[in-house]
Structure 1
Amino acid sequence: MNVYEAAIKRLNIIFDKFNYVYVSFSGGKDSGVLLELCAKVAEERGVRFGIFHMDYEAQYKMTSEYVERTLERFKNKADIYHVCVPFKVTTSTSMFQSYWRPYEASKQDLWVKKPPVYAMTEKDFPFFSDKLWDYDFQDEFGEWLAAKYKSVCCLIGIRTGESLNRWRAVHSDRNYRVWEGYSWTNTAKKCVAAYPIHDWAVEDVWTANAKNRWDYNRLYDLFFYAGVPLHKQRVASPFLGEGMEAIHLYQVIEPDTWGRLVGRVNGVNFAGLYGGTTAMGWQKITKPDHFTWEQYMYFLLDTLPEATRKNYLDKLATSVKFWKERGGCLDEDTISRLKEAGVKIEVGGTTNYKTTKKPVRMEYQEDYTGKNFKDIPTYKRMCVCIIKNDHLCKYMGFSLTKNELERREAIKEKYKDL
């Protein structure tokens, strides 16, 4: 069985078991192929399905054109959820803004593009609030459909070859939130998530497009002509940290769109000039010789607006306390390297986390040159976060904040009786 046949088999399993199935369609190559596969299976079975597209407003014109012609092609076979709402979206282009909002009413004059006339807005979703981030919205959208159809599955086009985190999401032996034993699913919410093309390589995606003569986002042709390798071709929000290295391509591929982006979010032009360089925390960063990393961190913090500085200091205080009192989980190899380097550490025996690693308590270090740099609490790592405009401090391992956790618990309470 090849990966195409395996994906078809998985989709048939999903359609057998769920009352309603919908595809999360971004306009990228992976979700596009998954949509075509889902449409094929649904047509063979004579059933409707849903297509969910979160419109981020600030994107390549070619992506919007591909999305619009695809939704038009499937409008008689699928329920279309073209979402244009002002949820919060992370930005790494600015030290002043930690997020921006697509289709924010007060900034209509600055919109990169207008929403289509058939788009769904915040008025269509009773659960919407100004506090929602984009990833919150997509979770709550799934729960909203689950309340309506009872048994719902969301198809997501992630491939494990894209990153280690995606590989872990499917193959980790500690995965326990799986549906009926299938490792390519997740039951963290009432709406089950499934990854039918998780084992596809990027070459499989383009082979499927060619063999089946499927439509695709023509932006990828221009990426190819521009010399961007297949494995680095991404279609995503241009202001995310992951997109800083390639944001300059907008200037070459779609200069008109670039002109609108510059006026849409603070710091875009700087990111276009220096994204992917040490100026924005990429590659190997250095510090002035007369500073320690701790001193350099405070120097960088002093250049920031008050609210931004306080955010980073709060994250730092939380991290320092965590490593002193609870400790981070490290593997035996990293623990040995720390001991060899003369770092004073205290290794615990057990942890509440589901891991074979051991909890290690330690003070913040200046720098660490061994493997797993991102796992060790250092002031240099904090400097990287500041330079990257990583307001959430993902580089330091932070996830949900207290407010976000409280919001999640409120959602669980709201839907517990459904």
Structure 2
Amino acid sequence: MVKESKGNVYEETMKRLEFIFKEFDNVYVSFSGGKDSGVLLNLTLKYAKDKGMLDRLGVFHIDYEAQYSETTKYVDRVFESLPKEVENLRCCVPLKCPTSTSMFETYWRPWEESKRDIWVRELPKKYLSKDDFDFITDDMSDYDFQKRFSLWYHQKRKAKKTCVLIGIRAEESLDRWRTIVSDRNINKYKKVSWTTKMYDNVYNAYPIYDWKTEDIWVANAKFGWDYNKLYDLFYYAGVPLNSMRVASPFHDAAKANLSLYRAIDPNIWGKMVSRVNGVNFTAIYGNTKAMGWKNITKPKHFTWKQYAMFLLETLPKEIADNYRKKLETSIKFWKEKGGVLSEEAIKDLQDAGIKFEIGGKTNYKTDKKPVRMEYIDEIDSRDFKLIPTWKRLCVTILKNDHVGKYMGFSQTKREAEKRKMAMKKYKNL
């Protein structure tokens, strides 16, 4: 087991890399084109070169086709400058990628052959295509592909043990911290906290988990490493340091900053408008009340319930049915079982003259009280998201929130079962 000392983050990371290359005969870096994975890649290349281990290293990248030009330029520079011993694992495959920019589509496919005439850009010089993988299915998501790729590469290299290096930092979010160092996660390699087991003899590792954002930029400056110049443009545009994201532009995580494309990369923006339905609307309203704030407005001749029904009628049947099922479940839940609300929310209901019942016990570990009630049109409350209103449903639809997170939903049983079956199918491959 590797022992952590109290050196600086650079020294600690080099010790972690020493441990990884000692324990694993097959290593690859998951490279997104962002600042964190870029620094991790440079650190790993430096270590492997100094130790004469470049032939044990690969660089994995999912190319999403539609992205900032500076990101593409940076990724191109990285792969063109890789030592010949390092394996190029740049993937251009038509996976199902979630989108929150369209009311008509829940996903889109980069590099989809049938839409070649509206591709945002051409394929890179060297890449792995769908034909290179025997495990891809039409329903495979980018997340599932990324996970399954590790096992495929492990088997392809006939490796004894494979380690996937990922540039996740705990500072980014509490969820990331839990992913990396959770005490409840027993699937660690030799009890090393910053590792996670993915398959037998295949592990993820997070060597820069304790780095700060400032450490990333200090390293780039000190060592003169190349980086995605998009961050410079973000800085000039006034984007806060911790809000700079190089995510897929149609993903929920990048939605609020989508409008920056028009100012920073107008040529790409023009192509993106036609690439995925709804991009222009999201760019205009993605960071405003129209995409989900409780202060959204409706046509004056509608109640919120009527407006919700109107929105549902404008959607394709499959999408509308998905929302209707969630609505039906939510109505039944609040009427029969009830949800938990704070004292403040309950007072807001009382002040508004809303009829409701307060239950006795609840299975939830909370000081809040269980409340049973019918759906209401709207309410002015700080806990607006927690109260069952038709307005909340309208917000969910306008946010293109297909899962229904705004209404308190998580994955459905069908979605969870589908994932379970996929994991079972690939478990012993």
Aligned pair partner of 2:33 in 3, 27, 31: 27
Number of the residue aligned with 1:184: 194
SS in 1 for 2:204: strand
Deviation of the 1:28 alpha carbon:
0.8
SS in 1 for 2:257: coil
For residues 128 and 142 of structure 1, what CA distance do their matches in structure 2 show?
Answer: 13
Q: Would the aligned equivalents of 1:325 and 1:361 in 2 still touch at CA under 8 Å?
A: no
Task: Show the counterpart of 2:271.
Answer: 260
- Residue of structure 1 equivalent to 2:112: 104
Q: Is the 8 A contact 2:362 2:370 kept in 1?
A: no
Given the alignment of the two structures, is residue 307 of structure 1 paired with residue 315 of structure 2, yes or no?
no
**CA distance 1:406–1:117, change in 2 (3 Å):** farther
Aligned: 1:14 with 2:20: yes
Which of 368, 374, 393 matches 2:404? 393
Partner SS for 1:154: strand
The 1:292–1:218 alpha-carbon spacing in structure 2 relative to 1, beyond 3 Å, is same
Distance 1:197 1:324 in 2: 48
Moved more, 92-101 or 334-343: 334-343
Are 2:264 and 1:244 equivalent residues in the alignment? no
How many Å separate the matches in 2 of 1:46 and 1:323? 63
* Corresponding letter in the other structure for 1:195: Y
The range that moved more, 196-205 or 160-169, is 160-169
Give the deviation of 1:289 after TM superposition: 7.5
Question: Per-residue deviation at 1:39?
Answer: 1.4
The CA deviation at 1:130 is: 1.0
SS in structure 2 at match of 1:300: helix
- Offset of 1:345 from its aligned partner? 5.2
Q: Which amino acid aligns with 1:387?
A: L
Give the conservation status (yes or no) of the 8 Å contact 1:327–1:359: no
Match of 2:290 in 1: 279
**Given the superposition, is the C-alpha separation of residues 291 and 70 from structure 1 closer, same or farther in structure 2, using an over 3 Å criterion?**
same
For the residue of structure 1 that corresponds to 2:256, the secondary structure is coil
Q: Is 1:52 the counterpart of 2:60 in the alignment?
A: yes
User: Which residue of the partner structure matches residue 417 of structure 1?
Assistant: 428
The structure number with the bigger radius of gyration is 2
Preserved CA contact (<8 Å) 1:91 1:97 = yes
Whole-Å separation in 1 of the counterparts to 2:160 and 2:384: 45
Shift in Å, 1:250: 1.3
What is the DSSP-based 3-state SS (H/G/I as helix, E as strand, rest coil) of the residue aligned with 1:53? Answer: strand
Offset, 1:288 = 6.3
Q: Partners of 2:369 and 2:131 in 1: how far apart?
A: 47
Is the counterpart of residue 94 in structure 1 residue 102 in structure 2?
yes
Alignment counterpart, residue 222 of structure 1, candidates 233, 236, 260: 233
Greater Cα offset, 44-53 or 102-111: 44-53
Residue 3 (structure 1) aligned to one of 6, 9, 13: 9
Which secondary structure state, in structure 2, belongs to the residue aligned with residue 80 of structure 1? Answer: strand
Return the offset for 1:404.
4.1
Question: Deviations for 1:120-163, whole angstroms, at most 9, x for unmatched residues?
Answer: 11100000111111111111112222344252221211222223
Match of residue 149, structure 2, among 141, 155, 162: 141
CA distance in 1, matches of 2:343, 2:188: 35
Residue 80 to residue 399, structure 1, CA distance change in 2 (3 Å): farther
Does structure 1 residue 128 correspond to structure 2 residue 136?
Answer: yes
Secondary structure, counterpart of 1:245 in structure 2: helix
Counterpart Cα distance in 2 of 1:145 and 1:282 = 44
* C-alpha contact (below 8 Å) 1:20/1:152 kept by paired residues: yes
Decide which moves more: 281-290 or 268-277.
281-290
**CA, structure 1 residues 166+280, in 2 after alignment: closer, same or farther (shift >3 Å)?**
same
Q: What amino acid sits opposite 1:107 in the alignment? A: K
d(CA) in 2 for partners of 1:321 and 1:136?
33
* Separation in 2, partners of 1:252, 1:416: 46
* Cα 1:304–1:415 shift into 2, 3 Å: closer
Letter in 1 for 2:19: I
1:115 aligns with 2:123: yes
1:145–1:230: structure 2 CA closer, same or farther, 3 Å change rule? same
Root-mean-square deviation over aligned CA pairs: 3.1
TM-score, normalised to structure 1's length?
A: 0.86
- Equivalent-residue separation in structure 1 for 2:125 and 2:190 (angstroms): 41
Q: Residue 348 of structure 1 contacts residue 358 of structure 1 at CA under 8 Å; is this kept in 2? A: no
Paired residue for 2:3? none
* % identity of equivalent residues: 52
Matching residue's letter, 2:89: Y
Of 128, 139, 153, the match for 2:163: 153
Q: CA deviation at 1:176?
A: 3.9
Instruction: Give the TM-score of the pair, scaled to structure 2.
Output: 0.84
Q: Does 1:37 align with 2:47?
A: no
Structure 1 stretch displaced more, 84-93 or 285-294: 285-294
Give the deviation of 1:262 after TM superposition.
Answer: 1.2
Q: Give how far 1:18 is off.
A: 2.2
Kept in 1, the 8 Å contact 2:358–2:369? The answer is no
Shift of 1:165: 2.2
Count of matched residue pairs: 411
How far apart, CA to CA, are the structure 2 residues paired with 1:348 and 1:144? 49
Q: Which residue of 2 aligns with 1:316?
A: 327
Write out per-residue CA displacement over residues 326-347 of structure 1, whole angstroms, 9 at most, x where no aligned residue.
Answer: 887x7xxx66656666764557
Structure 1 contact 347–361 (Cα < 8 Å) conserved: no
1:76 aligns with 2:84: yes
Instruction: Verify the 8 A CA contact 1:347 1:358 in the aligned structure 2.
Output: no
Moved more, 139-148 or 183-192: 183-192
1:315 Cα offset (Å):
2.9
Structure 1 residue runs without a partner (length 5+):
none
- Following superposition, the deviation at residue 66 of structure 1 comes to 0.6
Could you tell me which amino acid in structure 2 is paired with residue 101 of structure 1?
Answer: R
2-structure distance, mates of 1:393, 1:298: 16
1:67 corresponds in structure 2 to 75
